[in-house]
Amino acid sequence: MSEAEIYAELGEIFRDVFLTDDIELRPELSAKDVPGWDSFKQIDIILAVEEKYRIKLNTRELDSLQNVGDLVRVITAKTGG
Amino acid sequence: MTILYWLPEIEDWRGRLRGLGNNPETAWDEALALANSRLDFIRTNALDQMISKIFGDAPPKNLSTKPIRLALLGSGTMAHLRSAIRIAGLRRGLWISIYENDYGQYWQELTDPGSGLHEFKPNVVLFALDPHHLAAGLGAGLGRAEAEHGFAELRDRLQECWRLAREAFHCPVIHQVPLPLHPTLLGNNEHRLPGSRQGLITRLNHALRELADAEGVDLLAIDARAAIDGLKAWHDPALWHRAKQEISPAAAPMYGELVARLLAAKQGRSAKCLVLDLDNTLWGGVVGDDGLEGLVIGQGSALGEAFVAFQEYARELARRGVILAVCSKNDEANAVEPFDKHPEMVLKRHDIASFVANWNDKASNLRAITDELNIGIDSLVFVDDNPFERALIRRELPMVAVPEVGDDPATFAQTLADAGYFEALAVTEEDRARGEQYQGNRQRERLKASTTDLDSYLRSLEMELIWRRFDKVGLQRTVQLINKTNQFNLTTRRYTEEDVLAVMEDSRAFGLQLRLVDRFGDNGIIAIVIGKMNGTEDLAIDTWLMSCRVLGRQVEPTTLNLIAETAKRLGARRLIGEYLPTKKNGMVKDHYAKLGFTVAETGEDGSSRAVLDLPTFAPASTFITVTET
């Protein structure tokens, strides 16, 4: 799976989680850039990602996530891409 | 696996969600339709956000159910459960406002009359105390005596919580059974370690069943649900450490379902009738083509046994009060034959209260079934293996529950159980006898068909109206009727057990429960009346409701005679009858006028107030004997 595909699919998840079409996903996008992206929304996003890609992120991986780019890297690594 | 798999996927979910607010007139119905699709937690949250945007904090106008004010009192994080509870309520037409205590502060808020909780004035309280909180203070180092002491203290604490909530809010209390999520220390025989936290929670969960029953508290059995779905689907230790969520957000939609089922059952909104297709639903094959001998049912094949198991499940449901009906595209003679003649059939013809087999479309036939049984169309659950028929009913009759049963009969029973349509809080004697009552109804209908004039028919029924004041024995049935009767219900006031007890204690009020017996059997409690003195001369009929099963049998005028007599004993000179319109009670709009009341006021909303002068009232003569027990 290419990074571009992952960005597109993540975009869908973000649009559903934040109920807006105005989010443009960039690698450096992080919680401070998106209104309403708190620790609970963060959990929602991660669970949706885990379900979508049938992967499980461990506690260390979760703690290391700083932005969307980090998340995409973890997904790529875990899905063998 | 916590997916709501019995609900259908719907097309263009995002588009419909975004368009939800466009037409305020249809927004609520559209929201209900969206809620009745296979929502995961993300979609559940999104739908709830939209609803809050459109409706704000207040329930929509013309809501036909009683708005619920739920206090969610717990020790861990619960915010992620709110949307799931609200949307599962919406799925059943319920509006739920939720109050949640400040993190960990449930006890302080319960005991402080100035707290936000008291200001909120809940009408249902749900305790969601997590297992870490409950087992705090216990550990493997404790001896048996200390562990016993800890357990006794815990029981006392829970009872004290329930008592405080009851005293403060006079409302139903629900207690969430904690998940047995502590890792074991011994293993298989964990119970031999007195101080084991896992052991304590397991033991508590057994004890809770009895304790809650004794206290009149309803349980939210997420432990039983987690045993089906797998504990790991419900609880993720990583999320507990990260956010103190006992319940994983992924399981929230199912959690909300369990809560909303209880709340709906309390309002009498559980389904009442299971409507079954025949070919490839109750047996394998098509009876019209394959004939009796060609049907797959019974021992000898896995498929045949699966159909037997499903029939057994249906019969078990019937034995506890669910009405069974058949809706099949078949010639009637063909459809009935297996019930009468096939030795492997578990269900017999007399188990089916309404049997409709013809070539009309199934939507019309479902309507015919509700007409025959005198129940609401929204109290049906329709099981059909054919996706076309399911889609047709969903389109024509969106208020009918139509589970996605798939085509393997081995899964039908569990699917019905997972969907929780028939959630019930208690089983009354009436529930057990229901099948027989509908049987008796059919015999009555047959007699009616053979008797040409109504008077001689009614006389031949030898009816007896047996009444008594509200009492503790009949309490559950009284509350059940008050909360589930929608059609013949003049005011549709919903009351809790506590409210009914208050009527029993009020010397200026009366509550009557009426039973109708005739030559075909006991119809059970069929009517409830609550009267309250208003001033010194007026008796207001606060509640008058009746089961539609006994319509057209002179029960109404006979009941009025009884009300008049009882009111006179309280010194009343006038009866005041009130009609409050809802979506469902149009049939009693002119009830009081028909009984000789004078309509004094009519409101813009269609409500009315009617008066009957008691000194000049002449009791109607009917074919019903009235007896007090």
- Residues in chain A predicted with pLDDT less than 50, given as ranges, are none
Q: Which residue has the higher pLDDT, B292 or B552?
A: B292
How many CA atoms does the CB half-sphere of B42 hold within 13 Å? 22
Q: How far apart are CA B431 and CA B422, in angstroms?
A: 12
B53-62, B183-192, B400-409, B515-524: least confidently modelled range: B515-524
List chain B residues with CB under 8 Å of A16: 14, 42-43, 46
Q: Which tens digit of pLDDT belongs to each residue from B507-537?
A: 999 999 999 998 877 778 899 999 999 999 9
List chain A residues with CB under 8 Å of B42: 13, 16-17, 44, 48
Average pLDDT of the segment spanning B602-625: 93
ipTM over 0.90: yes
Instruction: For residues B176 and B307, state if they share a domain.
Output: no
Distance from B127 to chain A by nearest Cα, in Å?
22
Instruction: For residues B550 and B503, state if they share a domain.
Output: yes
Task: Determine contact, residues B2/B251, Cβ cutoff 8 Å.
Answer: yes
Q: Which tens digit of pLDDT belongs to each residue from B22-71?
A: 988 889 999 999 999 999 999 999 999 999 999 998 888 878 888 999 99
Residue B618 has what pLDDT? 92
Residue B446 has what pLDDT? 67
Distance from B17 to chain A by nearest Cα, in Å?
10
Residue B453 has what pLDDT? 67
Closest Cβ–Cβ partner in B46, B80, B243 for A16: B46
Residue B430 has what pLDDT? 74
Distance from A19 to chain B by nearest Cα, in Å?
6
Interface test with A, best of B16, B17, B43, B45 (most A CBs within 10 A): B45
| Lookup result for tokens 């209880």 | B262
Q: How far apart are CA B2 and CA B339, in angstroms?
A: 37
Instruction: For residues B470 and B612, state if they share a domain.
Output: yes
What percentage of residues in chain B have a pLDDT greater than 70?
A: 97
Instruction: For residues B543 and B414, state if they share a domain.
Output: no
Q: Average pLDDT of chain B?
A: 92
Average pLDDT of the segment spanning B320-326: 95
Residue B439 has what pLDDT? 65
Cβ <8 Å between A51 and B250: yes
Q: Which domain holds residue A27?
A: 3-78
Instruction: For residues B478 and B599, state if they share a domain.
Output: yes
Asked whether residue B434 is assigned to any structural domain, the reply reads no
Instruction: For residues B189 and B226, state if they share a domain.
Output: yes
For the purposes of burial, counting CB atoms within 10 Å of the CB of B527, is it exposed (0-12), middle (13-18) or buried (19 or more)? buried
Q: Could you tell me which residues come within 8 angstroms of residue B530 by beta carbon, excluding any fewer than 6 positions away?
A: B503, B509, B510, B511, B512, B541, B542, B543, B544
Residue B452 has what pLDDT? 55
Instruction: For residues B95 and B231, state if they share a domain.
Output: yes
Q: Which domain holds residue B301?
A: 273-419
Pairing of strands B509-518, B463-469: antiparallel
CATH assignment at residue B504: 3.40.630.30
**Local confidence band at B490 (pLDDT 50, 70, 90 cut-offs):** very high
3-state secondary structure of B612: strand
Distances in whole angstroms, Cα of residue A62 to Cα of each of B108, B239, B242: 34, 11, 10
Residue B489 has pLDDT above 70, yes or no: yes
Instruction: For residues B261 and B279, state if they share a domain.
Output: no
Instruction: For residues B226 and B311, state if they share a domain.
Output: no
CATH assignment at residue A30: 1.10.1200.10
Cβ <8 Å between B46 and A43: no
Instruction: For residues B224 and B328, state if they share a domain.
Output: no
Asked whether residue B479 is assigned to any structural domain, the reply reads yes
Instruction: For residues B564 and B621, state if they share a domain.
Output: yes
Q: How many CB pairs under 8 A join A and B?
A: 42
Asked whether residue B226 is assigned to any structural domain, the reply reads yes
**Boundary (domain end) residue, out of B419, B442, B473:** B419
**Boundary (domain end) residue, out of B216, B240, B266:** B266
Q: Which tens digit of pLDDT belongs to each residue from B413-471?
A: 999 999 999 999 988 777 777 766 766 676 676 666 666 567 777 888 889 999 999 99
Residue B449 has what pLDDT? 63
Residue B331 has pLDDT above 70, yes or no: yes
Distance from B243 to chain A by nearest Cα, in Å?
8
Asked whether residue B219 is assigned to any structural domain, the reply reads yes
What total of structural domains would you count in chain A?
Answer: 1
**Boundary (domain end) residue, out of B249, B266, B283:** B266
Instruction: For residues B415 and B477, state if they share a domain.
Output: no
Cβ <8 Å between A40 and B243: yes
What total of structural domains would you count in chain B?
Answer: 3
Residue B388 has what pLDDT? 86
